Structure 1
Amino acid sequence: MEGFEIRLTSSKKGKGLFATQKFDQGDVILEEDPLVSCQFAWNAAYRYLACDYCMKPLETPEQNVRRLSCKPDIVLPHSDRFELNLESITSCDQCGALYCSEGCRQKAYVIYHRILCHNPSDAQHPIVVLMETWKQMHYPPETTSIMLLVRILAYIQQSSDPSAARAKVKQFCHRTENEDAELVHKLLGEQFTHQMNTLRELTSHVVSGDEVQEFLTPEGFCTLMALVGTNGQGIGTSPLAMWVNSVLEVTMSDDERQQLDLFIDKLYQYVEEESGSFLNTEGSGLFQLQSSCNHSCAPNAESTFPYGNHRVQLKALKPIMPGEEICISYLDECTLQRSRHSRQKELAQNYLFVCWCERCSSQASEPDCTSEEEMSDEDIDADD
């Protein structure tokens, strides 16, 4: 591996990603395709067409914004700046799953699709039953998908060397059995134990056999679910966002720029009024290298998806020296700006650890207080 290495840390974090060379701000540290990825169930149900393998959207920016805003007459200026090539779209002959290219169709078939191919209109098919059950347990906003777990099992089952495939899956971060259960409880809510048994039973109807049996026991299934919850990286792709980024590079007068900015603001207003938070094609994936990045509340790197598909790019946010740990933020930008108390609360609830990054350590003497906005949130919770 050039420029970085994975090694054990001296703390409870386990392993981490460390620089072996200097990276300047803006440098690309690594690029990586996931072991498997999957669109979220509700995202697909809301008609977000995406490649079943790489999650690349299968509609143009204009089609995207017309659908999201329910305004079929919207015309995007400078649409020639960013056009998706939709001519290469293909599908599975058996089940009709859509792919952005023949290459993606073949990769999916080799990795997991051969044993997961099914008729989506058959309401009694085990995959359809599992997906519908999952949707009733995990409403938007989703943080993971049961099909990501199913694709992991199919990946092992279809592998020419199942034991090596199992070992690769087990390389992802594991916590203790108690922490696994606590994390899955967080994912599934109050009916955790009952829901886990239901999901495990339904999953075993989709993929089974000696190669995956250890993950279909109560303990093994809980571990696999927690592994996905801990290591799953959110993926968001948007033709509209990629069009916006491309037109920002167009040379134009100040007046034209101002008009375009107002037009873009109006587009997002239309979309928010009609579709709310359903702005991007969303899903998650398991990345072997990127998942080794630990959290920091003052991250020196960030994960982006510049190609409009599931390929992740890790970029330096500031200079990183050889021997320095490469860290990203597990929190969104808004939460990251909140108090140490609020950040710690969020990380403990969702990732089951107490952060002792440089920023948190320097703020350790601060009182456990929150901003006015957070106080009002907590007051509402208390009233409930």
Structure 2
Amino acid sequence: MRALETAQEACRRLTGNACLELPHPDCCAVKKELHTTCPHCQVEYCSEDCREAAWLSHHQVLCLGSSRDDAEHPLNRMADFWRNVHYPPETCNIMLVARMVASIQQVPAQNPNELISRFHQFCRATVNEEEEIAHKLLGEQFKDQINTLCMMGNEAGLCKEQVQQWFSPEGFRSLVALIGTNGQGIGTSSLSVWVKNCEDLDLPEDEKRQLDAAIDRLYEDIDKLSGDFINCEGSGLYLLQSTCNHSCMPNAEITFPHNNSTLAVKALSNIKTGEEICISYLDECALERSRHSRHKILRENYLFNCNCSKCESQLDEADVTSEEEMEDEEDEIDESMG
């Protein structure tokens, strides 16, 4: 998940200005001279070590060779089909399933069960029987799509003896539920790293102010063309992080301090010995929404109702979503204006 484009390349793309030149290019951490490609399919890697690690762990199975750009290849069709069915592809990526299966197929034939056992440690329930909640990716309206994805996986040669149980209808549903429930969005940006490194420069005060102003203008130009989304986005499975429960008043948060796939859990307050570490499964915007809105998201994506202290304190709130509340307020305004 290291960014492959330099900060300057990212800025030129995000601003639409092909002539843009960033000051202090040494603050960019991307080392293009280390980049390499798979000799068979030309997929790019940040280094030879990364390419070799991928080849040994999963890429032998997933390498498309000369078919990399063939839209009709089953793996490409699988990824494209997923993007057209579910959102957001970057935080619940069907290709995680392909990589999991490929990793198992590439382990020594005598001991594939060790890796399978590790994946089985993730929560992969498709329904919460007690609460009668079904994962939103697995509702009846998605039954045909799930079956199509399973068929495409078979066509791509992913269904081998070691993982046949995952390619039954219920087995594949459990895989989709696993990535839907545990998949962690990963965002990396060479621009963000460049900005941070620029902030750490020891510069004269006037030069520092000029640089800060230039960075502010840069973000304004990016926002005009591309909005505030500047990350390269992916998804991953993290066994330890997935054991952290949710709270709408979390005492910790997920961070990616090295701008790659390395995840850290950072305390937001002093955590006492024996106190449970809780993170938020919701983004900052969703956390500010009504209790009913938060519960709706958590039920659809994670199959539970939250009983944290914040939710308990809001038990008397009306059971309407934030959107419904806004619609009611707009109706009241319209009536008063009328």
TM-score > 0.5, shorter chain as reference: yes
Higher mean Cα deviation, 87-96 or 187-196?
A: 187-196
Partners of 2:140 and 2:188 in 1: CA distance: 32
Partners of 2:260 and 2:75 in 1: CA distance: 24
Partner residue of 1:209 out of 160, 166, 172: 160
Go from structure 1 to structure 2 and tell me whether the alpha carbon gap of 1:123 and 1:87 turns closer, same or farther (over 3 Å shift): same
Which residue is 1:111 aligned to? Answer: 57
Q: When the two structures are superposed, what TM-score results if normalisation uses the length of structure 1? A: 0.77
| One-letter code aligned to 1:105 | R
Give how far 1:317 is off: 1.4
Give how far 1:99 is off: 0.8
User: What RMSD over aligned residues (CA atoms) do the two structures have, in Å?
Assistant: 2.6
CA deviations 1:89-130 (Å, max 9, x no partner) are 111111111111111111111111111111312333221222
Partner residue of 2:76 out of 104, 113, 128: 128
Which runs of structure 2 are paired with 1:56-135 in the superposition (5 Å)? 56-118=2-64, 119-135=67-83
Q: Which runs of 5+ in 2 are unaligned?
A: 331-338
User: Does residue 1:145 correspond to 2:93, yes or no?
Assistant: yes
Go from structure 1 to structure 2 and tell me whether the alpha carbon gap of 1:378 and 1:67 turns closer, same or farther (over 3 Å shift): farther
Give how far 1:162 is off: 1.3
Number of equivalent positions: 323
Partner residue of 1:182 out of 121, 130, 134: 134
Partners of 2:328 and 2:104 in 1: CA distance: 44
Higher-RCO chain (CA-CA 8 Å, sequence separation at least 6): 1
Go from structure 1 to structure 2 and tell me whether the alpha carbon gap of 1:141 and 1:173 turns closer, same or farther (over 3 Å shift): closer
Secondary structure of the structure 2 residue equivalent to 1:315: strand
CA deviations 1:160-181 (Å, max 9, x no partner) are 2211111111100132546799
Partners of 1:374 and 1:251 in 2: CA distance: 51
Give how far 1:67 is off: 1.1
Partner residue of 1:276 out of 227, 230, 233: 227
Give how far 1:233 is off: 0.5
Higher mean Cα deviation, 329-338 or 169-178?
A: 169-178
CA deviations 1:324-380 (Å, max 9, x no partner) are 111111111122233333322322233221111122223334444676x77336889
Partners of 2:311 and 2:199 in 1: CA distance: 36
Secondary structure of the structure 1 residue equivalent to 2:162: coil
Partners of 1:338 and 1:253 in 2: CA distance: 44
Looking at CA atoms only, which structure, 1 or 2, has the larger radius of gyration? Answer: 2
Secondary structure of the structure 2 residue equivalent to 1:234: strand
The sequence identity of aligned pairs, in percent, is 49
Q: When the two structures are superposed, what TM-score results if normalisation uses the length of structure 2? A: 0.86
Which residue is 2:121 aligned to? Answer: 171
Q: Which runs of 5+ in 1 are unaligned?
A: 1-54
| One-letter code aligned to 2:94 | I
1 or 2, which has the higher helix percentage? 2
Partners of 2:81 and 2:208 in 1: CA distance: 48
Contact 1:137 1:188 in 2 (8 A): no
Which residue is 1:348 aligned to? Answer: 299
| One-letter code aligned to 2:50 | C
Partners of 1:262 and 1:290 in 2: CA distance: 38
